[in-house]
Each structure stands twice: as C-alpha cells, then as structure tokens.
Amino acid sequence: MAAGSSRGVKRELDSGEPEEAQGDQDESESIVAFALYKPRPMITDMTKGGMGDIARRMCPTRPPKPVGQLDRCTTGLMIFTTNGRLTCHLNSHVSKTYRAWYDGWTSSNGRSSAELTDEQCQQLREGICLSRGDGWANFETVQRRECEELPSIQLPTGEKMRKFRYCADVRISSGKFHVVKRLFMSVGKSVIRLHRLEVAGLSLEKCGLERPGDFVRLSDEQLRDSGHHADIAFAKHEKEKSDNRNFEGTAERGRCPAANAQQAQDTVSSLRTATPSKSKRKKACKKIKLCSDTSRREL
C-alpha cells in the first residue's frame, strides 16, 4: 500500500470525523464518503483480497462499503460510503466514464480487425439488449483515442501480421455485470484492459489520487459536484413511486372514478409495452376490470 495512503488515513482518524459515518441514521449529518484508486489485481470483496483492509483503514469504527463493483483487473476510481441514499444515487442516477483498450491487427493477405468504425460507434450509442434479465444498455458517448502499434508477428503459414492496440473512452449509466465488455463484444471487440476515469463528474485527478492504492475522504463540495446533495433526480424518482403506489391502491380498493378509467387503460398499455412479465399483465388487467365496473355503477 502506498505510504501516502496511510498518511491520508491518519489525518482523517486524528480529526475524529469518521465517527460521523453512521450512514442512514441521520440524513441531516454530513455524509462520509471516500474515493479509492483501485489497483490491480483486487477483487471487490470485503472479506478477502485486501479491499476490506482498506475500508477498515478508512474508518475503523464503521468501515464503508464500495459503491458497485469493478472486476479483478479493472483499475480506477471507486467510491466507498455507509450512506444508502448516496449508494443508490451513484449506482442508478449518474454516468461513469471508462477507458477501454482492445487489440486489432492487419495481415499481409488483406485480412484485418481494425479500430472501431463510425457505424460501430453508432451501434454502441444505440445499444443492445444484454439479456432478458438485464435489459437494454448503451454508451452515452464513444470517443476514439490514440493507437499504439505492437511488435509484428509472422504466422507459421508465412503470413505477416501487424498488431495494434486501440483505445476508446466511453460513458455509461448502467451498472450491469460486465456491461462495458459486453457492449464492446457486441461489435466484435474484446476489451483487454479497463480503467474507470470518472464517477458522477468526480475523477482521480480531482480527488488528488495519483497512485493505485491511494484513497482520500471526499469533501462536501466534491459530494455536491457529484449531484447527491441536489437530490433532484432522486426526489423526483421517489415521488413518482409514491404516486404510482397511491394510484394502484385506489384502483385495488374499487374506488377508481370513471374519469380515471382511461388513465388506467393507458397505464396497462404502457406496462404491456415495457414489461413482458405475465404476472404483471394479469395484475394490470384486474385493475382495468375494477375501474370499468366502478364506471358502470356510477352510470
């Protein structure tokens, strides 16, 4: 572990501030969060592999947990916190920027696997269906970067092959399992190295993290930059869920007025389009029947 990390932790422990890291016990208190420059190889596991030791050094009284996961060999910025709302916000409502490296080649007989084309970049921005369970995912931006030529090789057939290492920066909000690698694989590119550059506008440079293994406590200003204290998207999301629960409760009690019958029909139509689950469709159809029966009684 870098020596700079230990000094940074000692300052935090001497100040006594990590004692406030009580997560969701009191939302009015200042939120305690840390940024880590994740090294390789390190698994995202608090019980083995060294990550738990780092978390305990961040705050011995209540070690924070990582927000999301990074693969064993993926490096870059990771956020740690004991605050549930911050975890939800960073997992679901913000973009992360990654730098991905992938190999390409050209052979003397004309065959090649080159850099991402404009068409492939467009496909990545439009997205793919990862699986029935994971749903749809896409990159918000795709920016091709520099190319490095690797030593050429000659195949046993006598064919000469030139090798290249390409690089691209991508931004994505989804946190699905291996989502970056799966998206690249959808256009025939295999990611050989992945590095997380930013989370919600926070970067390694802004956090002052220079070496793998370094960590630092995030200031209130940095948390505001991440959008958490604004909480606009989070509050809107919670309000929408509350409104949906209220509407569903009214319909299930059979008190849905005739004026809302069309609204119920529209709700079920959207559910059929967005959710292929048979059980949810049956539940929605029951709501329509309740609304229709209430309408007929009122007439």
**Cβ atoms within 10 Å of 142's Cβ, excluding its own:** 22
pTM score, whole prediction: 0.65
**One-letter amino acid for residue 253 of the chain:** R
Which residues, other chains included, contact 98 with Cβ-Cβ below 8 Å and sequence gap of 6+? 76, 169, 170, 171, 172, 180, 194, 195, 196, 197
Contact of 93 with 199, CB cutoff 8 Å: no
Q: What is the largest CA-CA distance in the chain?
A: 86
7 half-sphere exposure, CB direction, 13 A CA radius: 3
pLDDT of residue 193: 95
Domains of the chain: 1-94+200-229 (3.30.70.580), 95-197 (3.30.2350.10), 235-298 (no CATH)
Please report, in tens digits, the pLDDT of each residue of the chain (299 residues total): 444 444 344 334 343 443 333 344 444 356 888 999 999 888 888 888 788 889 899 989 888 989 888 889 999 999 998 888 888 888 777 889 999 999 998 888 878 888 999 999 999 999 988 887 788 899 999 999 989 989 988 888 888 889 999 999 999 988 888 899 999 999 999 999 999 999 988 899 988 999 999 999 988 888 877 665 444 344 444 545 555 555 455 444 444 444 445 555 555 455 455 545 556 566 666 655 555 555 445 44
Which residues, other chains included, contact 97 with Cβ-Cβ below 8 Å and sequence gap of 6+? 169, 170, 171, 196, 197, 198
